[in-house]
Structure 1
Amino acid sequence: MNCTFSIFSKRRRSAGRADRSSSAGFTLMELLIVISIIVILMLIAIPTANTIRKHTNEVSAQKSLQTIEQAQSMYEQNYPVTGYACTLQALSGEGSAGPPSATSSQLLSGQLTTGVKDGYIFNITNCVKSTANNSERVTSYTLTAVPATVGRSGDRGFCIEAGGPIKMDPAGGTNCTQMVQ
């Protein structure tokens, strides 16, 4: 009697394991449904993420233009004979390279010194020079920030004329005629 009970209990245990293993997995249909739901959610989320990234890049470009504008003000105060800087390199520089100068004022640091930051390309253009007492002085300039790839890294271009407000070009260029809101 003892032997019969032990065989019966072994059969019962192995049958229970088979039932559990077949019910523990997912069917192919269930997996396909889950995958299709994930794909639909990704199709909704990816364009939204790209729009958010472009907007973030545009806000960063505007803030970076303000930073360059502040550096230009300090440069003009520090080097009144020279006036404003006509290159980003004149606003940048390393402290380890020696004391600040008109060609390396050490007023900008980080990515802005390269002219490329967060998908935007920065430049100082339209430098207007005047001559007084046999020396040239830069009296005006335009700062520009354009997307590296229009539509991908940003949609709008931004400009600041010396001491003025930020304006934008909705086409992504430097024809900045509209005020930023």
Structure 2
Amino acid sequence: MTCTYWIFATPRRERSRATSSGFTLMELLIVISIIVILMLIAIPTANTIRKHTDEVSAQKSLQTIEQAQSMYATNYPVNGFACTLQALAGESTAGPPSPTSAQLISGQLTTGIKDGYIFSITNCTKVTVNNTDRVTGYVLTAVPATPGKTGDRGFCVESGGPIKMDPAGGSNCTQMVQ
């Protein structure tokens, strides 16, 4: 019995430090490494998605400006089309609509910069009728503010025509948007 007594009388060892609560340094480094790898995969994808959404927004904004041009020509037939975004814009608190402030577009489009694209009305074609200039044609352009970052393609619309694009990000639009 003394042997049995001796086995039971031996003090048990304390739990080792490895089984204490918490994470080891190696476990933390592995988790951090996995997070960094996932971020490196996700960030380029997020930038591509952002560029795509900016390009879609630019196309929709050009459609909005095109509709405003059509309404402007209907409301002010003597003037024809507007040659500036400011003529299409305007605040209702500034008084009634006029040819210089038609109140047809609002928001960021009035400034000419929206979602990483710069918008402008160019190449206005004028005809003089009864000593009054009437705009009969124009080109709407939307080019990326920072090519490669806010968008890769530039977009254009010629007086009621379809939206075309410049794959180089400029305003030399020759290809149809698909």
1:108 lines up with 2:108 in the alignment: no
1:152 lines up with 2:149 in the alignment: yes
Whichever residue aligns with residue 139 of structure 2, its letter is T
More off after superposition, 139-148 vs 128-137: 128-137
Q: Which runs of 5+ in 1 are unaligned?
A: 1-11
Give 1:20 shift. 8.8
Q: For 1:50 and 1:134, how far apart are their aligned partners in 2?
A: 52
Whichever residue aligns with residue 155 of structure 1, its letter is D
Q: Deviations over 1:32-91 (max 9, x none)?
A: 111111111001000000000000000000000000000000000000000000000000
**TM-score when scaled to structure 1?**
0.88
Q: For 2:60 and 2:17, how far apart are their aligned partners in 1?
A: 61
Q: Which structure shows the higher helix fraction?
A: 1
Q: Which runs of 5+ in 2 are unaligned?
A: 1-11
Aligned to 1:85: 82
Identity of aligned residues (%): 81
Secondary structure at the counterpart of residue 104 of structure 2: coil
Aligned to 1:143: 140
1:44 lines up with 2:41 in the alignment: yes
1:30 lines up with 2:40 in the alignment: no
Q: For 2:86 and 2:19, how far apart are their aligned partners in 1?
A: 69
Give 1:21 shift. 9.3
Whichever residue aligns with residue 109 of structure 1, its letter is S
Q: For 1:147 and 1:120, how far apart are their aligned partners in 2?
A: 4
Aligned to 1:130: 127
User: Which of the residues 115, 119, 123 maps onto 1:118?
Assistant: 115
Secondary structure at the counterpart of residue 74 of structure 1: helix
**TM-score when scaled to structure 2?**
0.90
Q: For 1:87 and 1:43, how far apart are their aligned partners in 2?
A: 43
Q: Report the aligned-residue RMSD.
A: 1.5
Q: For 2:67 and 2:42, how far apart are their aligned partners in 1?
A: 37
Give 1:23 shift. 2.5
Aligned to 2:73: 76
Give 1:135 shift. 1.3
Whichever residue aligns with residue 167 of structure 1, its letter is K
Write out the 4+ residue segments of structure 1 that deviate beyond 3 Å after TM superposition. 18-22
1:62 lines up with 2:59 in the alignment: yes
Q: For 1:68 and 1:88, how far apart are their aligned partners in 2?
A: 8
